[in-house]
């Protein structure tokens, strides 16, 4: 009887608790929201910094940021006043802030770049490689935490009592606090307490707080219309219109023009620049020899520890990200629906065929879409590469790129532009003891030293790939210009004070060729590399390249470039009489197509014959995907299937998470 009474009484107690909390909420909504914001901000900042002491110091160092962050979080919590189930909405918003803070702190354990709004647009790509960063028990624990939070929120949605929505009070408080935040933002920007420019994203989050920086990453996108847009574009057009190559050019690359191969090397830089560590031998003798004998220099990139796609964007387009929104990735925004000029279109206008390749999944950063908008004819992702090998944590070895580059060049009669993005030295770097051929000593954190040793040995293998590539092209029967550069420094807790260059945004580039070229060593911004390549080749380019060449030394250059970037992406295409001349290509997946030439049954299995199959080839029978066993590049097998003689058979190239990138050609 006693047990029955307690069981029956329990829901009543919960309702009473909700009613008491609701009563307190109604009497003191502002105090409760402000107090909750204080607690949430403290948890978020402590976990992001992984230090209570650092958080306390930051509060005294910048009280403006402390109160400003609380104001932002409080504003979002006040939204709950507009709902009848305001306790549920209040808890939902609080949970979302807490989840964002925990996610940010966790992300910072694996990379230098903190959580931004764009991370949620690439979440499906990340899920495909999550096992590289997290152990199975960690994935289970995170999944359980997410499920528990969802169950709790559903419970609150059901159990929280309805109360009268405080529409007038809520709207007035939101409006008032919103105005106060706008005023504080203006004052903070003018006083330098906060900034709307984040040259170093990690430093910005540390200095200006998670709440402000994350909100800005979500709300601030695109290029704002320059005040002098009309006049500036009139001047730009007048300066360069008659000096650039036509996008509709049908020129054929001259026989003496070289093939152009540009390789973006993942996390590649000279490890001897790290001042805290001693290496048993030089891990990059091939790249070092190139630096000493070929045109080379430092390359200032827009990212560190992560952000490959943004370095890639600047290199390919000749445009700077400085004019785009905070933390923006054009690969995830404007380049999903707007074609534009690039190094690719410049070279194609001079008669080149254009190929892209990346030994990682084709959907990452939407490259399977973006490369079409940049003008590439073909794209060869990992799913189309023949027999890649993998390193200890699952990234494809860069050595696979050598044969893929050769295949791309041999696939056309024209001269070729090949843009390759490598992946092998990508993090997360294991912190366990690593027994590589090159040992590393130094540092105060044994786990971090182990991670550095792993990285150094991966970079050494990349250097062997570079050496192999150079040997391949030394006696190649066509002229070749090879450009190598690092996309950003690795996520190894590096700071300006711990690298001898004094700048963690500096990587390096080098030009090599088996023919005569007119290039000299100079330090560049990453967005200056493509125009420099065109200058070296003595070829005319499109509007951006021509602006660099004709006006690069002018005082008004950055103003002109900003107006041109706006015009090409968001403006009225004044450069081209109001119409964008650049169109997305009908991009072929794989430089060499995959073909199905026939099939037959044997021993109860179905065998599909063809060319260029890979481990990612998947057989479909009447639009139904079947278990597929890769035998070799010419043969696939579907076990225990009887073909009725009428069903259609084809082959798809699929990512590990089941996305179809393309279909084989049935011959």
Q: Which residue has the tokens 């794209």?
A: 379
Residues 534 and 618 in one domain: no
pLDDT of residue 134: 63
Residues 400 and 486 in one domain: yes
Residues 546 and 625 in one domain: no
Least confident of 163-172, 247-256, 547-556: 247-256
Paired tokens of 420: 């390759």
224 occurs within a structural domain: no
Distance separating alpha carbons of residues 653 and 280, to the nearest angstrom = 43
pLDDT per residue as tens digits for the range 274-305: 999 999 999 999 999 999 999 999 999 998 88
Please say which residue of 178, 200, 219 terminates a domain. 219
pLDDT per residue as tens digits for the range 511-524: 999 998 888 999 99
245 occurs within a structural domain: yes
5 occurs within a structural domain: no
574 occurs within a structural domain: yes
Q: Residue 403 belongs to a domain with what CATH number?
A: 3.40.720.10
Q: Is the pLDDT score of 3 beyond 60?
A: no
Residue 418, H or E segment:
strand 416-421
pLDDT of residue 21: 65
566 occurs within a structural domain: yes
Q: Is the pLDDT score of 574 beyond 70?
A: yes
Please say which residue of 560, 588, 616 terminates a domain. 588
pLDDT per residue as tens digits for the range 54-67: 999 999 999 999 99
The pLDDT confidence band at residue 623, using thresholds 50, 70 and 90, is: confident
Residues 204 and 265 in one domain: no
Distance separating alpha carbons of residues 159 and 301, to the nearest angstrom = 52
417 occurs within a structural domain: yes
Residues 558 and 597 in one domain: no
Domain span holding position 619: 593-666
Model-wide pTM > 0.85: no
Residues 288 and 351 in one domain: yes
Residues 540 and 614 in one domain: no
In Å, what is the CA distance from 451 to each residue of 112, 318, 425, 431, 490? 14, 34, 11, 5, 10
659 occurs within a structural domain: yes
Residues 333 and 391 in one domain: yes
pLDDT of residue 372: 97
298 occurs within a structural domain: yes
pLDDT per residue as tens digits for the range 595-617: 999 999 888 899 999 999 999 99
Residues 317 and 290 in one domain: yes
pLDDT per residue as tens digits for the range 444-487: 899 999 999 999 999 999 999 999 999 999 989 999 999 999 99
Q: Smallest Cα–Cα separation from 295: which of 462, 450, 490, 516?
A: 516
Q: Helices (H), strands (E): how many in the chain?
A: 21, 20
Residues 174 and 269 in one domain: no
Q: Is the pLDDT score of 122 beyond 90?
A: no
Residues 555 and 636 in one domain: no
The pLDDT confidence band at residue 332, using thresholds 50, 70 and 90, is: confident
The pLDDT confidence band at residue 642, using thresholds 50, 70 and 90, is: confident
Q: Is the pLDDT score of 250 beyond 60?
A: no
pLDDT per residue as tens digits for the range 220-247: 888 999 999 999 999 999 999 888 876 5
pLDDT per residue as tens digits for the range 398-415: 999 999 999 999 999 999
Q: Smallest Cα–Cα separation from 210: which of 67, 38, 68, 44?
A: 44
Please say which residue of 191, 219, 247 terminates a domain. 219
The pLDDT confidence band at residue 355, using thresholds 50, 70 and 90, is: very high
Provide the 10 A C-beta neighbour count for residue 122. 17
End-to-end CA distance of the chain: 79
Three-state DSSP state, 603: coil
Question: What DSSP assignment string belongs to 239-290?
Answer: HHGGGS--TT------TTSPEEEEEEETT---GGGBTTEEESS-S-HHHHHH
The pLDDT confidence band at residue 2, using thresholds 50, 70 and 90, is: very low
pLDDT of residue 440: 94
Paired tokens of 181: 């935040």
Q: Is the pLDDT score of 416 beyond 90?
A: yes
How many domains in the chain? 3
User: Where does residue 432 rank: exposed (0-12), middle (13-18), buried (19+ CB within 10 A)?
Assistant: exposed
Residues 175 and 300 in one domain: no
Q: Smallest Cα–Cα separation from 37: which of 214, 211, 185, 188?
A: 211
């Amino acid at each position: 009887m006693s047990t029955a009474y307690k069981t029956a009484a329990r829901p009543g107690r919960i309702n009473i608790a909700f009613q008491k909390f609701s009563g307190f909420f109604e009497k003191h909504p502002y105090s409760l929201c402000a107090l909750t914001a204080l607690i949430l901000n403290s948890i978020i900042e402590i976990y992001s910094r992984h230090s209570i002491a650092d958080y306390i110091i930051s509060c005294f160092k910048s009280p403006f940021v402390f109160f400003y962050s609380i104001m932002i979080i409080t504003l979002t919590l006040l939204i709950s006043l507009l709902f009848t189930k305001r306790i549920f909405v209040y808890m939902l918003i609080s949970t979302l802030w807490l989840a964002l803070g925990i996610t940010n702190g966790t992300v910072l354990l694996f990379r230098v770049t903190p959580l931004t709004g764009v991370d949620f647009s690439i979440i499906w790509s990340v899920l495909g490689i999550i096992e590289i960063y997290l152990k199975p028990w960690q994935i289970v624990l995170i999944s359980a935490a997410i499920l528990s939070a969802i169950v709790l929120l559903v419970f609150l949605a059901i159990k929280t009592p309805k109360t009268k929505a405080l529409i007038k009070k809520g709207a007035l408080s939101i409006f008032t606090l919103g105005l106060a935040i706008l005023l504080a933002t203006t004052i903070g920007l003018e006083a330098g307490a906060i900034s709307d420019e984040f040259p170093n994203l990690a430093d910005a989050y540390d200095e200006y707080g998670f709440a402000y920086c994350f909100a800005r990453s979500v709300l601030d996108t695109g290029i704002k219309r320059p005040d002098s847009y009309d006049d500036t574009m009139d001047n730009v057009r007048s300066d360069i219109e008659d000096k650039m190559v036509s996008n509709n050019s049908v020129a054929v690359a001259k026989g003496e023009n070289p093939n152009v191969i540009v390789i973006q090397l993942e996390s590649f830089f000279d490890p001897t620049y790290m001042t805290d560590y001693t290496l048993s031998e030089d891990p990059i003798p091939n790249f070092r020899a190139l630096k000493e004998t070929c045109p080379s220099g430092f390359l200032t990139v827009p990212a560190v520890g992560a952000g490959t796609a943004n370095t890639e964007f600047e290199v390919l387009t000749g445009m700077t990200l400085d004019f785009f929104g905070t933390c923006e990735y054009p690969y995830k925004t404007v380049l999903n629906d707007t074609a534009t000029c690039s190094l690719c279109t410049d070279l194609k206008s001079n008669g080149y065929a254009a190929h892209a390749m990346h030994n990682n999944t084709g959907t990452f950063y939407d490259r399977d879409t973006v490369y079409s908008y940049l003008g590439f004819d073909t794209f060869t992702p990992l799913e189309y590469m023949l027999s890649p090998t993998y390193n200890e944590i699952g990234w494809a070895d860069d050595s696979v790129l050598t044969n893929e580059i050769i295949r791309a060049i041999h696939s056309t009669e024209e001269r070729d532009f090949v843009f390759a993005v490598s992946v092998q030295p990508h993090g997360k770097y294991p912190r366990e003891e690593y027994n590589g051929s090159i040992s590393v000593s130094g540092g105060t954190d044994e786990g971090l030293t182990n991670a550095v040793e792993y990285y150094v040995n991966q970079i050494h293998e990349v250097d062997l790939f570079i050496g192999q590539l150079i040997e391949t092209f030394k006696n190649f029967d066509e002229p070749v210009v090879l450009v190598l550069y690092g996309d950003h420094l690795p996520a190894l807790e590096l700071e300006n004070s711990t690298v001898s260059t004094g700048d963690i945004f500096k990587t390096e580039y080098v030009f090599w060729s088996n023919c005569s070229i007119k290039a000299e060593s100079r330090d560049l911004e990453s967005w200056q590399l493509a125009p420099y390549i065109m200058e070296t080749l003595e070829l005319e380019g499109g509007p951006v390249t021509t602006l660099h060449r004709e006006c690069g030394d002018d005082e008004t250059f950055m103003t002109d470039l900003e107006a041109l970037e706006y015009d090409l992406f968001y403006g009225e295409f004044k450069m081209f009489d109001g119409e964008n001349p650049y169109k997305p290509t009908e991009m072929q997946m794989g430089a060499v197509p995959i073909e199905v030439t026939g099939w037959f049954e044997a021993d109860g299995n179905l065998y599909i014959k063809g060319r260029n199959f890979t481990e990612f080839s998947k057989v479909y029978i009447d639009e139904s995907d079947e278990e597929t066993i890769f035998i070799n590049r010419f043969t696939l097998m579907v076990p225990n299937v009887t073909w009725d003689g009428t069903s259609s058979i084809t082959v798809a190239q699929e990512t590990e998470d089941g996305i179809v990138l393309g279909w084989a050609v049935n011959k």
